[in-house]
Structure 1
Amino acid sequence: MGSTCAYRLMNYTVKKNLFNYNKIGFEWWHSHHYSRHYTGFKPKNVVVLTKLTRYEFEKAKAPELSEPELKELLTRRGSDYNTLLYHHNIHKKHEEQVLYELERHQIEAKVVDRFNYKEEDINEADAVITIGGDGTFLLGAVRITKNDKPIIGFNSDPTRSEGYLCLAKKFSSDIGKAFDRLVKGEFRWMYRKRIRITLIGENIYDPPVELHDEQLSKPEYRYIDGLQEQLRNSEPETKEVPQNVRVLPVLGLNEVYIGEKLSARVSYYELSVDNGERVKTKSSGLCLSTGTGSTSWQFNINKLTHQAVANLLVAIKQETGLMIDAQNEELINRITNRFNHSLIFSPELSMMAYTIRDPVSVGTLPKPGEMKPRGFANKVEMKSRCFDAALVIDGGLSFKFNDGTLAIFEMHDDDALKTVVLD
């Protein structure tokens, strides 16, 4: 009973003191008391989702070309053939090491690429392992809709990507140590909370648009490749009697952005936080973030720059007469880092951070009753008054969200993504 009361009190304190630096202690306590795993992890079989390298992609586009011809083609386009091949080999070497460790621990593995990652493979496996970066991890996670199927990511090329969702970088160079610790149980489970989205209104079954990777001359369709079956299963049973309520088959692991497609146009909508009064709002859109995504877009929207803090200190000194050394670089850095670090919260917390981008206010100061530009919430409702808006999940999948459509954003424990933390 005491632990439960402490948990509720600390959770309330975190939500009350928004962006409070002291919440770090709660996150440590939460992760060490509610997610500890004491037994070894040794699945019988796993499905291994491996990255499609740029080299493989180019080879697949022109299978009739020899290596010299492919090199000439890429050179004419301004691409470096040798660099593509170099990083391809790094990825393949990493893939071989992961497969070797699976075999060493007598774990059966089925290797698939993005085009052959099927729901039946996930259902038959005890776990999913991804080899690539955060993009490959997201592709692997999007097909996992419940919290009983663990996913573990290995960053196959840490020199080119951070791989925040994967195991720590040091395990990329010591894969054997990572597997030894997994088998011995020297890790803890992390349940990354995700955002569930319910749409109510007309045209909610219109097909989504894939926001593909513009770095490639041909779209990869990161989400569509793995979601055709899920999208079909979420369609209404009959075309004659369309349903007006739809729970989207995709969960937001990082963030959900809602706003007008044309960024120069103001987004107009009605917003309600935690069943509060619905407030009419104009802005550049709304960003909802999980703890996982709090280090990403949401962080960059709200972070303070070194210059902004320096200017604030000068203004405070002038207005208050306080003896502040506004030119002290160390002080400016400490304040900047303290504030920015407070924007990050645990992926396991069942709450969302919301940010109203560039809120439009008639006067210089917000009116009484206007929505706070950022905060935490357990539930958010948003009714569109937009002309041509989109609801974008994890920067990859865009659904229409036009005038009259209502979106409900919530978090449920059953939707969490089961992952592993070794550090």
Structure 2
Amino acid sequence: MYNQKCLLTHIYKGIGTILNGPIQNFSNDAKQLKMDKVLIISKLSRYEYEKRKHRNLDDSKLEQLLRKRGTDFERLVNFHNKYKYFEENVYTTLKNMGINVEIANRFTCTEDKIQEADVILPTGGDGTFLLAASRVMDNKKPVVGFNSDPSRSEGYLCLPKKYSTNVRAAIERLQMGDFDWLLRSRIRITMVVSEESDLVPKYLHGVEGDCICPIRLNKAGKNVLPVLALNEVFMGETLSARVSHLKLRLNGSMELTNIKCSGICVATGTGSTSWHLSINRLPVQSVAELLRLIDIDATEGKDSLATVLADIYNKNLIFQSDDKRMGYTIRDLISCGVWPDPKGIKSRGFATKIEVLSNCYDASLVVDGGCHSVSMMEQ
């Protein structure tokens, strides 16, 4: 996991894993971050989401609906107010420092607003940071995250928790150049579809009014998704209980492997601490059982051999955030009979280029856990 002492360096500069063109060189000696105009990206609270989803209901009827559903309504509203209070505090602090500041959310965050801002400043948790980062399509715009609720959110991509209660101190350090750049690789995705109408990006949990950037065409005339993945890209059947039938090619190889699985997760170094780690983590229980098979009387206590070995293994799953390789994981790979075809593919590994062909019934491609998703029709 990230060292909290170093998180002030987590100023995001996107480097596409499959980006074309040179990477801009950012030196730690380049002092003072220009912050004449800042765009705050607001967290979408669950209460706001429900209000937009049920915009035909007034506040009283919405409350009745949520309570009937078993929602703790007071808790929902309390967290919403907490987020908004924090956001207002950041906005006011920047204003009082003479900085031109604007607030946008996922519904109002346009390309023009991103381009006009010197710095993008998400106020929320890692989810809000991922949303903000997905809108920055080059490597020239820093994204600095503030954790709006450090008591409930780890906020690995955000500044240290102490700056949630001292926003001005963080801004002053940034203005003075008292920080180091941290470069993060991202994944660029291109898609080929049988019908252009099938290529419709959307939020996994979308509501009316979502602001989605249009699909782009690259120089080769292929469809480039309007977002870059900072954590991971997942491909598989939309219905999770259904087996995903995919064909996979790694690093431009001539070999196309036919597989059945529960989907493929492709992660960056940043994402290696998230879903990638959760999928591949080795439980202490499994290590202890393996040790017992070789006649070692293993326990599962805090300082046991099984715990130490599991910890070493799991830490080795994490790789550097600026690593240009992608870590892929084939979830629940079916390995029996004729599957996979041909044999020999590893269920986990690294690649610089990954091609996936869908033979699914109704597959989706999901970026950063739901920030964006696209239908993957059978080819």
> Which interval holds the TM-score relative to the shorter structure?
0.7 to 0.9
Contact 1:134 1:164 in 2 (8 A): yes
Aligned ranges 1:333-344 → 2 under 5 Å: 333-344=307-318
Q: Is the deviation greater in 294-303 or in 68-77?
A: 68-77
**Contact 1:279–1:371 (CA under 8 A) maintained in structure 2:** no
Question: Relative to structure 2, which stretch is displaced further, 160-169 or 144-153?
Answer: 160-169
Compared CA separation, residues 38 and 282, structure 1 to 2 (3 A): same
Deviation at 1:378, TM superposition (A): 1.1
- Between Structure 1 and Structure 2, whose CA radius of gyration is higher? 1
The unaligned stretches of length 5 or more in structure 2 are 1-24
The match for 1:113 is: 105
Q: Could you tell me how far 1:264 is from its partner in structure 2?
A: 3.8
* 1:358 aligns to 2:343 (yes or no): no
Query: What corresponds to 1:370 in structure 2?
Result: 344
Q: Is the Cα–Cα contact under 8 Å of residues 259 and 341 in structure 2 kept in the other structure?
A: no
Alignment partner of 1:399 is 2:374: yes
**Cα deviation 1:281-324 (Å, max 9, x = unaligned):** 32322111111211221111111011111111112x24xxxxx4
When residues 314 and 37 of structure 1 are mapped into structure 2, their CA distance, relative to the original with a 3 A threshold, is farther
Q: Which residue of 1 aligns with 2:214?
A: 230
Q: Find the counterpart in structure 2 of residue 252 from structure 1.
A: 229
Please tell me whether the aligned partners of residues 310 and 326 of structure 1 are also in contact (alpha carbons under 8 angstroms).
Answer: yes
Change (3 A) 1:220 1:187: farther
Q: Are 2:198 and 2:377, in contact at CA under 8 Å, matched by a contact in 1?
A: no
Matches of 1:299 and 1:352 in 2, distance apart? 13
Amino acid at match of 1:161: S
Q: Map residues 12-411 of structure 1 onto 2, 5 A cutoff.
A: 36-57=28-49, 65=58, 74-208=66-200, 210=202, 212-213=204-205, 219-220=206-207, 225-227=210-212, 229-231=213-215, 234=217, 245-284=222-261, 285-315=263-293, 317-318=294-295, 324-327=296-299, 329=301, 330-362=304-336, 370-396=344-370, 397-404=372-379
CA contact (8 A) 2:42 2:103 kept: yes
Identity over the aligned pairs, expressed in percent?
Answer: 42
> How far, CA to CA, are the matches of 1:364 and 1:198 in structure 2?
30
Q: For residues 339 and 76 of structure 2, what CA distance do their matches in structure 1 show?
A: 53
Q: Is residue 268–residue 280 contact of structure 1 (8 Å, CA) maintained in 2?
A: no
Change (3 A) 1:361 1:62: closer
The TM-score normalised by the length of structure 1 is: 0.73
1:255, CA displacement in angstroms?
A: 1.1
CA offsets 1:113-158 (integer angstroms, 9 cap, x no match)? 3322121111111111111222322222222111111111111122
Alignment TM-score, normalising by the size of structure 2: 0.81
SS in 1 for 2:211: helix
What's the C-alpha RMSD, in Å, of the aligned pairs?
Answer: 3.3
Give the drift of 1:351: 1.0
Aligned residue for 1:136, secondary structure, equals: helix
Structure 1 CA distance, aligned partners of 2:260 and 2:63? Answer: 48
Contact 2:37 2:99 in 1 (8 A): yes
For residues 249-305 of structure 1, the C-alpha deviation after alignment (integer angstroms, 9 at most, x for no partner) is: 222221111223333443333322222342423232211111121122111111101
CA separation of 1:113 and 1:340: change in aligned 2, threshold 3 A: same
Aligned mates of 1:340, 1:313 — CA distance in 2: 17
Question: 2:284 is matched by which residue type in structure 1?
Answer: H
